[in-house]
Structure 1
Amino acid sequence: MKYIQKFIHITITFFKAIIRLILGLRTPKGLLALFLALLIYYGWAIAFIVYGSIVKNPWFISIGTSVMVFWMAPLTPFWALTIFTTLFIQRVILRDQKTQSFRKIYQMYLGDSKSKSDDKLIALVEDKTDFADPTPEELEASNHQESKDL
């Protein structure tokens, strides 16, 4: 019974963290990136369910449903893949300068248990990718470009 309560607590905490991260996307481009990432990983399962419902084939419905239920579990890599894909699409493909940096995301969820190797990991990721905090000049240029587009 103790393990079940602990699992329920971990599951609730995990999904609250996912919701906070999704709400942190803040921009329409971020929500579009999340939608695209979900379609990449979940789209075929949803298509199986829809197709199975249309042609009344229980095999397609059961495969699509079982895939969705399995990947929704908190201990699967689905959410990590989806969030990193979302951030990649938002920052690199859609060129949204208001994307949260890897440093902010890392500190938001793992900031309390920080060690020296964590700083090296953050520096490595920010040096090798485009997930560093935007400079004030980049933010100003992004705001100027958005106002020009409107």
Structure 2
Amino acid sequence: MDCRVVVEAAVPVYDVENEDEAIRIAIAKTGEMLNPDLNYVEINMRTWVTPGGEELPPAFIAADEALVALELEMTVFNVEQEEHASRIARKEIGQRLENVPLKVLSVEVLEEEEEEEETQPDGSGGGDTIPDFDDLVKDD
């Protein structure tokens, strides 16, 4: 089975003046650490919503230093359990993001393509079929 894993990362950023600058620097810094080995990991901002419905920014700034919350998404292939997928994602991302705390937020099992192909509306079973030998050989 294949799984889509979302991991939260707390990325420290130094010498910043505002939240937008901190977020841009954190995304760039994370991208540099992940590339080229993990260039398939998607990097997004993480936002929170208070119980009152107010959206909070992903960056917290104090004394020109920021802690930025990012979501890192990756697909893990050929795993047996969701827990296995989360461990693989944490290990792969964690090896490249040294001293950055990580937390698995979600693991989503992806649909298998083979199962989708088997249920064609015309009842053919989908997929490619191999022609018979007689069909390949023409009689002259």
TM-score (norm 2): 0.27
- Which structure shows the bigger proportion of residues in strand conformation? 2
Structure scoring higher RCO (CA < 8 A, sep ≥ 6) equals 2
Where is the helix percentage greater, Structure 1 or Structure 2?
1
Larger gyration radius, structure 1 or structure 2: 2
